[in-house]
């Protein structure tokens, strides 16, 4: 873990994840090793992951590898099962709609239900490192709040708007066995899989047997 993360400030109970982003992200990936990305069809992507119960050096090393893998694949978020690890962890390095950078990690995330008056949908395009080269429009709330733990096991809350809100929802979905294409109509899902079949990933992936 980078020292800055263990001493993060808390604002109204929410992690401040917009400070020292460059230094924290760099420290993680310099310690980590990039791993290939699992793609749709790999069993680890299609089931709920296990809760993290050990907050130790092994978890810290996994987080470092996840940041390295995310950077190598030019992603803005990465769940542990996307590098084949069956644990509820995701990392992110993602801008919001105002261009503000958010960088952090959430362990055992739980997406909070929003009251009806907070559910303003945004139907922007969405893509996924595990469905390479494919994109589709998907309506999601433009605000998201996730509760979980940090790498030391401390309780944290993370919130985001716009593109960052989409990232938080997308990565939490991964850890419960859902890809974004699972939320599409059959027609749109088929089209996304066609795009994937016709494209060539720009990063290393794990072939499905």
Active site (catalytic) residues: 171
| C-alpha span between 11 and 136 (Å, rounded) | 34
- Cα–Cα distances in angstroms (integers) from residue 32 to residues 2, 45, 65, in the given order: 12, 22, 4
* Segment (H or E) for 157: strand 155-161
C-alpha 188: how far from chain center: 22
Helix, strand, coil percentages (3-state) for the chain, rounded to 5, are: 35, 30, 35
Whether residue 137 contacts residue 125, with contact meaning beta carbons closer than 8 Å, is answered with yes
Taking alpha carbons only, the member of 91, 86, 64, 101 closest to residue 176 is: 86
- Cα–Cα distances in angstroms (integers) from residue 155 to residues 14, 158, 169, in the given order: 10, 10, 18
- Cα–Cα distances in angstroms (integers) from residue 199 to residues 128, 130, 196, in the given order: 13, 13, 5
């Amino acid at each position: 873990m980078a020292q800055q993360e263990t001493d993060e400030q808390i604002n109204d109970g929410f992690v401040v994840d917009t400070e020292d982003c460059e230094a924290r992200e760099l420290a993680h990936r310099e310690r980590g090793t990039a791993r290939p990305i699992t793609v749709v069809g790999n069993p680890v992507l299609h089931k709920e992951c296990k809760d993290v119960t050990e907050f130790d050096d092994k978890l810290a090393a996994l987080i470092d590898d996840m940041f390295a893998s995310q950077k190598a694949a030019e992603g803005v978020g990465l769940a542990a099962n996307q590098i084949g690890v069956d644990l509820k962890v995701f990392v992110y390095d993602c801008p919001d709609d105002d261009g503000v950078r958010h960088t952090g990690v959430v362990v055992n995330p739980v997406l909070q239900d929003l009251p009806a008056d907070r559910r303003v949908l945004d139907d922007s395009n969405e893509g996924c490192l595990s469905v390479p080269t494919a994109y589709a429009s998907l309506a999601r709330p433009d605000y998201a709040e996730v509760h979980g733990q940090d790498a030391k096991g401390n309780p944290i809350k993370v919130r985001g708007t716009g593109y960052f809100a989409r990232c938080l929802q997308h990565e939490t979905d991964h850890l419960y066995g859902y890809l974004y294409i699972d939320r599409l109509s059959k027609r749109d899902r088929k089209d996304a899989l066609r795009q994937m079949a016709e494209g060539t990933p720009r990063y290393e992936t794990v072939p499905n047997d």
